[in-house]
Amino acid sequence: MALRGLAASGPGSRGPLDETLAAAEDHGAPAVVVAAGGTPEDDEEDEGRGRGLLRWDGFSAWLHCVCVVGFDLELGQAVEVIYPQHSKLTDKEKTNICYLSFPDSNSGCLGDTQFCFRFRQSSGRRVSLHCLLDHYDKDLPVYLKKDPAYFYGYVYFRQVRDKSLKRGYFQKSLVLISKLPYIHFFHTVLKQIAPEYFEKSEPYLEAACNDVDRWPAPVPGKTLHLPIMGVVMKVRIPTCHDKPGTTQIAQLTQQADTHISVILPTVHEVDLFRCFCPVFLHSQMLWELVLLGEPLVVMAPSPSESSETVLALVNCISPLKYFSDFRPYFTIHDSEFKEYTTRTQAPPSVILGVTNPFFAKTLQHWPHIIRIGDLKPAGEIPKQVKVKKLKNLKTLDSKPGVYTSYKPYLSRDEEIVKQLQKGVQQKRPSEAQSVILRRYFLELTQSFIIPLERYVASLMPLQKSISPWKSPPQLRQFLPEEFMKTLEKTGPQLTSRIKGDWIGLYRHFLKSPNFDGWFKTRRKEMTQKLEALHLEALCEEDLLLWTQKHTEVETVDLVLKLKNKLLQADREHLPVKPDTVEKLRTHIDAIILALPEDLQGILLKTGMT
């Protein structure tokens, strides 16, 4: 493979080529050889970097960068191109991308393969300041909010025979690195650009990135038209106000759009039934394991099967967010390999997707292992796997199955099993089966979470207890036993036909990372609501009359406190009505104008920054 030289800028540079080779030989790591994705003159490149933030703002709203990973006989897997050229990746991040962008050699993926991975952002890396993106983030459903500590990698891998190459095969991956968990969307983008990129190389990639740079921002709730290399995609990113389980794009497609090439009904969902197909008899047990944040391993024949299945598992408790770590594709070279496979402590709360047979031995001590065979195309039904004892998972060639000693808290819902089996017999399309399964999981999750929502809402102080002249009241404490008592009259039996030990399931859930993450989110929302109500109470007061009865020092103190309140409302995106903010500004101005001139000048200069 001809490598065009090292990109010498940025923290990821490794120095001269011979040093890179030496390091690769010493450590057995893939060499991260970076070649620029275009060859502009140095002065042009500097000029581009000078205006870098402005020029690539549109691109950065969607992607961190695009990488091309190839295989070199001497270096192994290597990053050949990073685009745009100013994109920053640390050496550790590049090494992770190198290994995660290629299937394990035992997968035998010939032709084109698409999959997804997720990896930890290097510590010490400066968090990019995307204030605008954070603003959009607040309108997203909680399960689509970006995690600042992680990147997603969306891969289009091609392996074809090529006698002209020494190895006998052409092997290359085009990888999109993003903070956004829009799996279906980015896989669709790759389907549009990757095949042509492999034919036309760097100039084509540069043109595609320029198209992305011209896209509108990923605003939730808006219908977006996104042109890329002659194709226009129509998408809508969900908002936190959408009714769970509905897709809005269908209503937007009634009018004929002659210039639209691709309409995406979802940006993030995977084919749920295809992934659960081999295990749908046990789908309710798997829902419990994911809900409780139990350590789970998916052993699959290829990265596309492992990543789809892990993402389907994470998706099955939606609209709840899965708060633990999950890795759709995990390899023995991953920087967290030792941390996640150690036997010196209990397995962590994480879902791993693996393909290397070595993991059958390394992760033998994990409590729950799903082993799946090849996922069948839509319309074909694989043999249903059985639940087996963990001690049976001894060999690398163990049969497909769910290996666990877990006893579900809830009785199996035979209705959904019959419905899905009937669908298989009638050759119902996989999309329709996925709709049924998704609705079932949604109803199950909502039945479980509604009693918790109802109890947490009761922790909110009464509005009449909010005084403008005191700090906002605190939320009452969450008391597990008090919550358990509410279940007798207002438990999940009101909305679910499923019987079983719901109380036991709640007790286990209250100790899980998913409860911890959910409750912290709800507590933050409710605290912000109290702050907003406190602001509204202040606005209803005659503040000018108050100042007439108090000293100058107290009045100045009030002005400074009110200005801080406005700053907080803006910084934390408090749910305040726009007219409340305007009213408060008017109050502040009126109070300042009533003060002596010297104080007026000082307070007017004390800005809202």
Per-residue pLDDT of 186-203, as tens digits, reads 999 999 999 999 988 888
Q: Cα separation of 436 and 457, whole Å?
A: 31
pLDDT at 606 over 80: no
What is the chain's Cα-based Rg?
Answer: 28
pLDDT at 142 over 80: yes
CA 609 centroid distance within chain = 32
Predicted local confidence at residue 505, as pLDDT: 97
Locate 545 and state its tokens: 């009359």
Predicted local confidence at residue 23, as pLDDT: 36
Global pTM value: 0.84
Q: Cα separation of 17 and 42, whole Å?
A: 20
User: What pLDDT band is residue 126 in, cutting at 50, 70 and 90?
Assistant: low
- Fold type of domain 57-217: Beta-Lactamase (3.30.450)
SS3 of 77, please?
Answer: strand
For the ranges 294-308, 435-449, 465-479, the lowest mean pLDDT is seen at 465-479
Q: Cα separation of 536 and 51, whole Å?
A: 43
Predicted local confidence at residue 116, as pLDDT: 97
Locate 58 and state its tokens: 């549109």
Predicted local confidence at residue 604, as pLDDT: 73
Compare 609 and 227 and report the one with higher pLDDT: 227
For the ranges 2-16, 306-320, 504-518, 545-559, the lowest mean pLDDT is seen at 2-16
User: What pLDDT band is residue 330 in, cutting at 50, 70 and 90?
Assistant: very high
Q: Cα separation of 186 and 562, whole Å?
A: 45
CA 576 centroid distance within chain = 28
How many alpha carbons fall within 13 Å on the CB side of residue 2? 1
Predicted local confidence at residue 463, as pLDDT: 81
The pLDDT of 364-393, averaged and rounded, is 70
Q: What is the pLDDT of residues 230-240, one digit of tens each?
A: 899 999 999 88
Q: Cα separation of 346 and 344, whole Å?
A: 7
Q: How many CB atoms are closer than 10 A to CB 20? A: 19
pLDDT at 382 over 80: no
Locate 6 and state its tokens: 């090292």
pLDDT at 6 over 50: no
pLDDT at 163 over 90: no
Predicted local confidence at residue 263, as pLDDT: 84
Locate 197 and state its tokens: 């990129």
pLDDT at 500 over 50: yes
Domain boundaries for CATH 3.30.450.200 within the chain: 57-217
Tell me how long the chain is.
609
Q: What is the pLDDT of residues 421-458, one digit of tens each?
A: 899 889 889 889 999 999 999 999 999 999 999 999 99
User: What pLDDT band is residue 384 in, cutting at 50, 70 and 90?
Assistant: low
Predicted local confidence at residue 48, as pLDDT: 36
Q: What percent of the chain has pLDDT over 70?
A: 81
Compare 286 and 577 and report the one with higher pLDDT: 286
pLDDT at 72 over 80: no
Decide: 388 and 405 in contact? Cβ < 8 Å.
no
Decide: 226 and 238 in contact? Cβ < 8 Å.
no
pLDDT at 92 over 80: yes
The top-scoring range by mean pLDDT among 65-74, 105-114, 258-267 is 65-74
Compare 246 and 319 and report the one with higher pLDDT: 319
Bridge-based pairing state of the strands 231-236 and 386-388: unpaired
The residues, any chain, with a CB within 8 Å of residue 487's CB and separated by 6 or more, are 451, 502, 503, 506
pLDDT at 514 over 80: yes
pLDDT at 475 over 60: yes
